[in-house]
Amino acid sequence: MAPSDPRLRLRKDDLFAYLLYTPHPGQAAVHRSRARHRVLACGTRWGKSTCAAAEALAGLMAPCEQSLGWVVGPTYDLAQRVYSSVNRLVKLRLAHRVVEEDERQHRLVLRNLSGGLSEVRAKSADRTASLLGEALDWVVVDEAARLKREVWDAHLAPRLVDRRGWSLLLSTPRGCDWFYRAWRRGQRGRDDETESWQAPTWTNPHVPEEVVEAERARLPKETFDQEFAAKFLGESTEPCDTCGGPDPEVPGIVVLDEGEELGECPECDEPVDEDGRTVVKLWPNGKPHLTRIILHPGPANQQEERAAEVSTPGAKPVDPSRLGDPWSADVAGFTESR
């Protein structure tokens, strides 16, 4: 909620110094951001839970009449990891501000910097019934990639609407899922309200280089790339919020009229038609692929010649879209326009 006195504002640097917390450069970048939605993809042992706890505590101490925030994890054990860190910081330096604590309900109420009441609760995403009904000022989601998309879309994001609340999503990547889409939204200025970071383990200066290199040598490359390099692996099958792709309803062949060109979705960078709809088809095998693009059909005699050419055994597949996907013989009847 709005500060009880609009002249009051939390200075995070001073709060963190008082808490004896010195963020490393990657954590500091997250703390400095004023984006309403922040998304952090990071490697193991990067310090995301510490970063999450510090942001949650900053949310608690922000001057206002009353506020409510949630710390959410895929399970109570994971939610408790951040909540316990918040509680530990409070007991260390801010015990005099505790108004109420309910250990059974994982709930803590503090007197914030303007004298108002601020509350934090730990929540488990595997109990969606407990995620209903309350407007939130902020939410911190740890291991967000382990949550189902509908938990965020239907149970968490709507809680932030009424109060224009902020969110911090943190996770080690788990493929190109909804968390990947949220992370992409914060890249290259796609969304003015979202900022995101990709933070490999070795950007934490407190992790010895030899530890990282030992894990690199021990683990399969894909496992290391995901767990330590914080890379999103695999193909995305989550629908883009802007263009809708990949979409099983996209036709197998799209014919472009003369002068018509494919555009690019501002969110996912995949090709779209002139109406902004995806031309990436989700095939029955669950794999997304660019549909076959036909640059406007030529005269009938050229179509017949081209059909014979692509139907010739051993003929090299052509790609009239110039987008890099092989084009096979089942498009007989159309020709590419040079």
DSSP, collapsed to helix, strand or coil, labels residue 159 as helix
DSSP, collapsed to helix, strand or coil, labels residue 199 as strand
3 burial via Cβ count (<10 Å: 0-12, 13-18, 19+): middle
Question: Whole-angstrom distance between the N-terminal and C-terminal Cα of the chain?
Answer: 60
Q: Which residues pair with 42 in a beta bridge?
A: 199
- Sole residue written with tokens 């790339």: 225
Instruction: Kindly give, in sequence order, each residue whose CB lies less than 8 Å from that of residue 183, ignoring residues fewer than 6 positions away.
Output: 39, 41, 196, 198, 232
Where residue 242 falls (left for φ over 0; alpha for ψ -120 to 50; beta otherwise) is alpha
CA separation (Å) from 302 to 296, 305, 336? 12, 5, 9
Distance of CA 22 to the CA centre of its chain: 26
Residue/partner pairs of 224-230 with CB below 8 Å, 24 or more apart: 226/172, 226/173, 226/174, 227/43, 227/44, 227/172, 228/43, 228/44, 228/200, 228/201, 228/202, 229/43, 229/200, 229/201, 230/41, 230/42, 230/43, 230/46, 230/172, 230/173, 230/198, 230/199, 230/200, 230/201
Helices (H) and strands (E) in the chain, counts: 9, 14
Task: Point out the catalytic residue in the list 55, 143, 195, 238.
Answer: 143
Residue 26: both structure tokens together: 């990657």
CB 252 within 8 A of CB 331: no
Residue 96: both structure tokens together: 């005099």
At 60, which amino acid appears? L
For residue 101, what is the DSSP state? E
Whether 101 is a known active-site residue: answer no
Catalytic residues: 143
